[in-house]
């Protein structure tokens, strides 16, 4: 049972938390001053150590270097005593398991650093083997340049050892690498160690500076996690070392590991600054749901349009011009990098209205290939009778041509030069001249049902809201059933649906699997804490709408962690409660 470590905020595999000592330590953090290593059991037996609340005690251990045969590691791994004070167990990927400790030390960590594939495999194997609410400690590896990527992978605790040693060796460390102390003609850091003339700055001062720089880098990382923007930082900062770039790219291939831990929406903006952004969980998840869950409900031709810098797209000047030309005669779908395709109903759904991308006027081959593949899958599923492409020549047109060939359809193009010229808008209007119009109420009903598909699963919109009607003003729509019962409200900030108790019951009673959390015999108010969770659906992701129920209560809320973490954790919030009722 974990008593001395608690996760407060999550950003994918990275977490902000607290090591609960007599003087708490915010994590991710360095722990040189609060770690007591009892020692190895290889050379002699170790008695049950004394410990206290002021330090993290590393229990007697047998460490194994990377590459140790799994049978050898398992044979000599041994067990750890059950202690009441803050403790850490030393493990390898082969011996990682739940030993009841508050933290786990990866043995031989320096052997993994610098080797992206081995590092990623080790971290993923260990993190999936130990309880979610325990800290992972890597000793002797952290520098100002790599600590962000270490935390992004799932590391919580580090130390100053490597940074200080490099300083004593004469290397001045920064977040963008290292330099020989003798090559510096000025000290670029304002820390206390650097607040002296360069000629009196020696290697001991350099070691102090390196430790200070590591602490400053960790402060930046903690802030980025709180803002939900650590990945944006990593994509730029990791470029300074080849193995770090390789590491986050290899982590992208560990999609299941990252996706389980990545929130379904965030408050912060998603910055797409490179082709690496296309592999982000948020981008891949959106593309998958649009092409496997979303259902087209408006009986109208497809009208494919370019995206806009302003979001949601319908608020932009260009899209207002498109809408006036289209009226209610076509189904508007925006095409964009890095999101792919965005049906009009999902324009507010994260991350469709929460991203910013680098605009050069030119599409890269990676972007063209990615968006064309998504568009082709979308066209196969949507099955339109007509396909109008109101897009300019160049990258947009090439994407349409590739997707049309793959989906075996034909596009009608209505733009000669630019989509917003009078001639182009007139051509768009003329292309739809023979089409019937649908009602605004039909579009609003399609919107909430499409969001339900995206959020809860394929066909959820029809299962939950088949006879429902909408009220209110877009994008703050409310959903009521035929009897007038309030089922859900659209949240315009994230393009999601917040269920009422009636909506939660409708979800449970439907054929769409509800994301359930089983709780103990109590009636929660503000939060369901992890100790009160008996079981949880493993498909739950942070931010998901969930239904919780127990012997005494039923309610709805949002998940504060993924389902596995709810079950494994003994501290922290599992569900932010919106509505609950005593049975």
The tens digit of pLDDT for each residue in 132-186 reads 999 999 999 999 999 999 999 999 999 999 999 999 999 999 999 999 999 999 9
The CATH number of 455-582 is: 2.30.130.10
At residue 566, what are phi and psi to the nearest 5 degrees?
Answer: -60, -40
Extract the tokens encoding 10: 């999550």
Residues with Cβ < 8 Å from 219, sequence gap 6 or more?
none
pLDDT given for residue 76 in this prediction: 58
Poorest-confidence range of 11-15, 356-360, 420-424, 479-483? Answer: 356-360
> For the whole model, what pTM was predicted?
0.92
Residue 325 half-sphere exposure toward CB, CA atoms < 13 A: 26
- CB 69: neighbour CB atoms within 10 A? 10
The tens digit of pLDDT for each residue in 402-440 reads 999 999 999 999 999 999 999 999 999 999 999 999 999
Quickly name the fold that domain 270-431 has: Rossmann fold (3.40.50)
Extract the tokens encoding 56: 């993290």
Residue 343 half-sphere exposure toward CB, CA atoms < 13 A: 32
Distance CA 365, CA 370 (A): 8
Q: Is 395 in a helix, a strand, or coil?
A: helix
Architecture of domain 5-160+230-255 in CATH? Alpha-Beta Barrel (3.20)
For residue 505, pLDDT over 90 is answered with: yes
Residues above pLDDT 70, as percent of the chain: 95
pLDDT given for residue 40 in this prediction: 65
Distance CA 371, CA 491 (A): 27
At residue 554, what are phi and psi to the nearest 5 degrees?
Answer: -140, 140
Q: Mean pLDDT over residues 470-487, rounded?
A: 95
Domain ranges in the chain?
5-160+230-255, 270-431, 455-582
């Amino acid at each position: 049972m974990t008593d001395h470590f608690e996760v407060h905020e999550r950003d994918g595999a990275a977490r902000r938390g607290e090591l609960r000592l007599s003087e708490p330590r915010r994590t991710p953090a360095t722990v040189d001053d609060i770690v007591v290593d009892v020692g190895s059991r290889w050379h002699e037996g170790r008695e049950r150590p004394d410990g206290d609340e002021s330090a993290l005690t590393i229990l007697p251990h047998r460490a194994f270097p990377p590459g140790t045969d799994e049978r050898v590691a398992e044979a000599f791994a041994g067990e750890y005593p059950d202690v009441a004070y803050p403790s850490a167990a030393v493990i390898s990927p082969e011996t990682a398991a739940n030993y009841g400790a508050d933290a786990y030390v990866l043995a031989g960590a320096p052997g993994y650093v610098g080797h992206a594939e081995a590092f990623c495999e080790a971290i993923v194997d260990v993190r999936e083997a130990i309880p979610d609410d325990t800290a992972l400690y890597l000793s002797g590896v952290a520098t100002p340049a790599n600590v962000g990527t270490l935390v992004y992978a799932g590391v919580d605790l580090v130390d100053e050892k490597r940074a200080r040693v490099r300083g004593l060796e004469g290397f001045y460390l920064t977040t963008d690498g290292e330099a020989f102390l003798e090559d510096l003609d000025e000290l670029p850091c304002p820390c206390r160690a650097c607040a002296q003339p360069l000629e009196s700055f020696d290697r001991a001062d350099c070691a102090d500076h390196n430790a200070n720089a590591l602490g400053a880098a960790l402060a930046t990382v903690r802030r980025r996690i709180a803002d939900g923007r650590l990945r944006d930082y990593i994509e730029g900062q990791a470029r300074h070392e080849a193995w770090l770039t390789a590491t986050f790219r290899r982590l992208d291939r560990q999609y299941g590991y990252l996706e389980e831990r990545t929130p379904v929406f965030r408050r912060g903006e998603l910055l797409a600054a490179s082709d690496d952004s296309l592999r982000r969980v948020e981008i891949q998840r959106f593309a998958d749901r649009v092409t496997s869950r979303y259902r087209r409900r408006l009986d109208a031709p497809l009208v494919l349009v370019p995206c806009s810098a302003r979001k949601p797209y319908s608020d932009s000047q260009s899209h207002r011009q498109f809408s006036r030309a289209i009226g209610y005669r076509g189904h508007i779908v925006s095409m964009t990098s890095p999101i792919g395709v965005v049906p009009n109903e999902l324009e507010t759904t994260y991350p469709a209205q929460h991203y910013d991308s680098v605009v050069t006027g030119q599409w890269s081959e990676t972007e063209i290939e990615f968006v064309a593949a998504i568009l082709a899958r979308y066209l196969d599923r949507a099955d339109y009778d007509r396909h109008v492409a109101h897009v300019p020549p160049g990258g947009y047109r090439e994407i349409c041509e590739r997707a049309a060939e793959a989906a075996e359809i034909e596009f009608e193009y209505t733009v000669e030069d630019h989509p917003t010229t009078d001639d182009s808008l007139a051509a768009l209007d003329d292309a739809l001249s023979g089409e019937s119009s649908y009602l605004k109420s039909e579009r609003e009903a399609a919107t909430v049902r499409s969001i339900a598909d995206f959020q809860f699963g394929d066909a959820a919109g029809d299962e939950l809201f088949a006879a429902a009607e909408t009220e209110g003003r877009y994008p703050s729509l409310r959903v009521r059933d035929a009897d007038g019962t309030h089922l859900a409200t659209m949240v315009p900030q994230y393009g999601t649906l917040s269920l009422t108790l009636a909506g939660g019951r409708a979800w449970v009673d439907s054929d769409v699997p509800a994301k359930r959390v089983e709780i103990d015999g109590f009636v929660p108010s503000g939060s369901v804490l992890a100790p009160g969770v008996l079981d949880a659906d493993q498909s739950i992701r942070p931010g998901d709408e969930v239904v919780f129920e127990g012997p005494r209560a039923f309610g709805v809320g949002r998940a504060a962690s993924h389902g596995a973490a709810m079950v494994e954790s003994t501290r922290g919030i599992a569900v932010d409660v919106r509505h609950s009722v005593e049975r």
